[in-house]
Amino acid sequence: MTFTQTSAQNPQLWQRPSCPLMTLLFLLQVLLIAFLPTPLTAEPVHAIAMHGTPKHAQGFTHFDYVNPDAPKGGRLTLAQQGSFDNLNPLIIKGVPAAGLRDFLFESLMARGRDEPFTLYGQIAQYVEVPPDRSFITFHLNKKATFSDGHPIDTGDIEFSLKVLRDHGRPNHRTYYSKVKRIERISDHIITFYFDESRDRELPLIIGLMPVLPSHLLTEETFEQTTLKPPIGSGPYKISKIDPGRSITYTKDKSWWGIDLPTNRGRFNFDEIRFDYYRDSSAMFESFKSGQIDVRVVRDPTQWAEGYNIDAVRRGQIKKVNFPIGLPAGMSAMTFNTRRSIFKNPKVRKALILMFDFEWINKNLYHGLYKRTHSYFERSILSSKGHAADAHELQLLAPYPNKVTPEILAGKVTLPVSDGTGHNRKNWRRAVELLAQAGYVLRAGKMINPATNAQLEFEILASSPSQQRLFLSFAEHLRRIGINAKIRVVDSAQYQSRLKDYDFDMIQSRWRSSLSPGNEQLFRWSSKLANQPGTYNFAGVENPAADAMIQAMLQAETSKEFVSSVRALDRVLLSGDYVIPLFHFPKQWLAYWDHLAHPDKTPVFGYQLDTWWLKPENSNTSHTRKPIAQERNER
């Protein structure tokens, strides 16, 4: 960094000049010094928060949601549905195996899971960030190495940013393109200077960047799918791969980061294995027979009825509701507005009216769901119940037609029924909207009179539970002459079609945190709407959404931040891009009793990397029982 020399550093500046010309030069020099901007400086710190200050001060020993004395050892067996054909999770090609980002590839900093968005030193021991967040300097931990023993230096950090920016997933390309200059000060100190976008989240986004080994990768090899175990710097190595069927991670006994305060009480298992199954039914049966240790439950029927088994009654399997402080996010049936059938917002509004949540929740889900009314449901960030404040009105003023008056006032606009299945009031309103869109109901079919073609579309499904929901919705649509066809495809085909937006309608879920930021670009940005591989499944191209995301990224205070997120919520809700579905009130988890977890659950909910095997099971390491089913059942 360059600092301006001041009069205190050089007293000769104040000596009297000897002639008029020298006097003029002297005055110009004084004025130049007086009006030069004060250079931005920053002190090295152990952590950085998006807003406010970090919860844990310098010198903390561990996060308070872990057991720092947790026993070590044993195996944790988890399950995934589908398959995989790639061990590089940082490109859009192929289907990556589970666990790679969690256990293999570390970031410069580690996230505290009991705070909205705070990062603590990991590969980077300290950071420097000025008040305007125009740059960030990382001081690397000199002990940091990759699992092959090669030291991590600033060359790896620079390489990681460049290769992810130029060849990585669309979200990485978007985020990292905002870095305008990189300065390698030494092998262990590196600075990233940002562009003029005033994105205050960028220092934290760079802090979460995965670090790649520049001594093993090139820009060309990085873009290739591979089943060769990659080298990372995380707590585990890949020890076994059965392509498409299982992947096993084994603890790296020489892991450099084992004693960091961010890691104490975490990564307690010697081995973590993911087994893949063809469908959810086979996966559930394997859990009940002891082949799988933990199961996240997302099916209310299964939660209400499926665990009426001896293992639960004997206490061998635990059913637990874990609290969670994060927003519920948005689970929805998503319109692909790139398709001509859904370009008309009146058609979308009509279909929203036809979704009978009260009937579906009662008859399919035992009444256990709650309706979702916001993209940031269950949090202070939701616009539901909050009229737009002065800052929101100022942000939205240039876009007067992009938010409806009801949503601007914070009023719920989703239709409600009596739950009987005879939703005639909403049906009539839906038919009226479709008439305004140019359709007519003729001989029991909703048709376009210009083409005589029936209003029909395809809903893409990837699981039986989705199919059941879609069939119920399709039956309701049939009553007003709309033909909704359900197509169920396997996991690989489903992911491929999602990547290329080759669908009419799908079920989507956009998770949320208490500190949404650049990921919103990946979901709603006009610039990315037609770029393959993003989460902008709806094809949103809305200048108001773009502007609200920018305001959110530039917010300097918590109040401004909350207002800008609510403004984005209002824009998306007013666009009718999705049929909002429902969410769980808590996290539902079932697990075998040989596992234990900390007493405290952080804001982010349960964290499997803080769990451990009970000491009485450590001698056997809880090895897997023989699999009763044949491989073709997966």
Confidence of residue 197 (pLDDT cuts 50, 70, 90): confident
In the numeric block, which tokens belong to residue 419?
């739950």
**Residue 549 is part of a domain; what is its CATH number?**
3.10.105.10
Using left for φ > 0, alpha for ψ between -120 and 50, and beta otherwise, residue 393 falls in alpha
Handedness of CA 336, 338, 341, 346 (dihedral sign): positive
Q: Does residue 321 fall inside a structural domain?
A: no
Of residues 201, 265, 274, 285, the one with CA closest to residue 243 = 274
Does 220 lie in the same domain as 187?
Answer: yes
Average pLDDT, the chain: 90
Is 308 inside any structural domain? no
> In the block, which residue shows the tokens 């980061």?
257
Strand partners, 139: 126, 189
pLDDT level of residue 21 (50, 70, 90 thresholds): low
pLDDT of residue 451: 93
3-state secondary structure of 349: helix
In this structure, are 70 and 15 located in the same domain? no
Q: Identify whether the C-beta of residue 79 lies closer than 8 Å to the C-beta of residue 143.
A: no
**Does residue 616 lie within any of the structural domains?**
yes
CB within 8 Å of 580: residues ≥ 6 apart: 330, 331, 332, 371, 372, 373, 414
Judge contact between 79 and 292, C-beta under 8 A. Answer: yes
Q: How confident is the model at residue 632 (pLDDT cuts 50, 70, 90)?
A: very low
How far apart CA 494 and CA 425 sit, in angstroms, is 36
Determine the average pLDDT of the residues in 100-124: 96
Lowest mean pLDDT among 16-20, 170-174, 303-307, 457-461: 16-20
Bridge partners of 247, per DSSP, are 241, 274
The Cα–Cα gap between 410 and 381 comes to 12
Cα–Cα dist 101/118, whole Å: 19
| 44 close to 104: Cβ distance less than 8 angstroms | no
Q: Provide CB contacts within 8 A for 349, sequence distance 6+.
A: 433, 576
Instruction: State the DSSP H helix or E strand holding residue 486, giving kind and residue range, or none if neither.
Output: strand 483-488
What is the secondary structure of 527-564 as a DSSP string?
GGTTSTTSS-TT----HHHHHHHHHHHH--SHHHHHHH
* Statement to judge: residues 545 and 598 lie in one domain: no
Q: Please indicate, yes or no, if residue 555 is contained in any of the structural domains.
A: yes
User: Does residue 604 contact residue 322 with C-beta atoms inside 8 Å?
Assistant: no
90: which residues sit within 8 A by CB, 6+ positions away?
A: 105, 164, 168, 169, 172, 210, 212, 222
What's the CA gap between 76 and 117, in Å, rounded?
A: 28
Same domain, 605 and 560: no
For the stretch 326-360, pLDDT in tens is 999 999 999 999 999 999 999 999 999 999 999 99
CB 444 within 8 A of CB 489: no
Question: 581-629, pLDDT tens digit by residue?
Answer: 999 888 999 999 999 999 999 999 999 999 999 987 755 444 444 333 3
**Given a cut of 60, is residue 215 above it in pLDDT?**
yes
Considering only CA atoms, give the Rg of the chain.
28
Amino acid letter for position 584: F
- Determine the structural domain holding residue 51 and report its residue range: 42-293+594-634
My answer on whether 46 and 33 are in the same domain is no
pLDDT tens for 541-583 read: 999 999 999 999 999 888 999 999 999 999 999 999 999 999 9
How far is the C-alpha of 238 from the C-alpha of 258, rounded, in Å?
18
Give how many domains the chain has, as a whole number: 3
Residues 272, 343: one domain?
no
Rounded CA separation 276/634 (Å): 7
What percent of the chain has a predicted confidence (pLDDT) above 70? Answer: 91
In terms of residues, how long is the chain? Answer: 634
pLDDT higher than 50, residue 272: yes
The whole-number pLDDT of residue 287 equals: 97
Band the pLDDT of 501: cuts 50, 70, 90: very high
401: three-class secondary structure by DSSP: coil
Which residue from 568, 483, 486, 555 is spatially nearest to 525, judged by alpha carbons?
Answer: 568
Task: Return the pLDDT at 29.
Answer: 54
Same domain, 138 and 99: yes
Burial class for 471, CB neighbours closer than 10 Å (0-12, 13-18, 19+): middle
Picking from 381, 345, 41, the residue whose alpha carbon sits closest to that of residue 191 is: 41
Is residue 192 helix, strand or coil?
strand
- Collapsing DSSP to helix, strand or coil, 630 comes out as coil
Q: Is 612 helix (H, G, I), strand (E, B) or coil?
A: strand
Note the Cα 86 to chain centre separation in Å. 20
Q: Supply the DSSP string of 586-604, one letter for each residue.
A: SEEEEEETTEE--S---TT
From CA 520, how far away is CA 504, in angstroms rounded?
A: 22
For the cut 90, the answer to whether the pLDDT of residue 412 exceeds it is: no
The answer to whether residues 66 and 116 belong to one domain is yes
Q: Which residue type is seen at 125?
A: Q
Lowest-pLDDT range of 103-112, 404-413, 433-442: 404-413
Helices (H), 260-356: 280-288, 300-301, 310-313, 345-354
CA distance 596 to 318: 11
Question: Is residue 70 one of the residues assigned to a domain?
Answer: yes
Do the domain assignments include residue 589? no
What's the pLDDT at 464?
83
CB atoms within 10 A of CB 54: 17
What predicted TM-score, i.e. pTM, was given to this entire model?
0.76
Among residues 64, 185, 72, the alpha carbon closest in space to that of 136 is found at: 185
> What is the identity of the amino acid at 129?
V
Residue 307 forms part of a structural domain? no
pLDDT at 41 over 70: no
User: What are 506's two structure tokens?
Assistant: 């799908």
| Shared domain check, 134 and 281 | yes
Q: Are residues 619 and 509 in the same domain?
A: no
How far apart are the C-alpha atoms of 564 and 551, rounded to whole Å?
6
SS3 152: coil
pLDDT digits (tens, 9 = 90+) for 135-156: 999 999 999 999 999 999 999 9
Read off the CATH number of the domain in which 192 is found.
Answer: 3.40.190.10
Please, which residues bridge with residue 595 across strands?
613
Instruction: Look at residue 616 in the predicted model and tell me its pLDDT.
Output: 79
Q: How open is the CA angle 411-326-89, to the nearest 5 degrees?
A: 120
- pLDDT value at residue 327: 93
Question: Are residues 28 and 64 located together in one domain of the fold?
Answer: no
Residues 387, 497: one domain?
yes
- Is residue 385 a part of any domain in this protein? yes
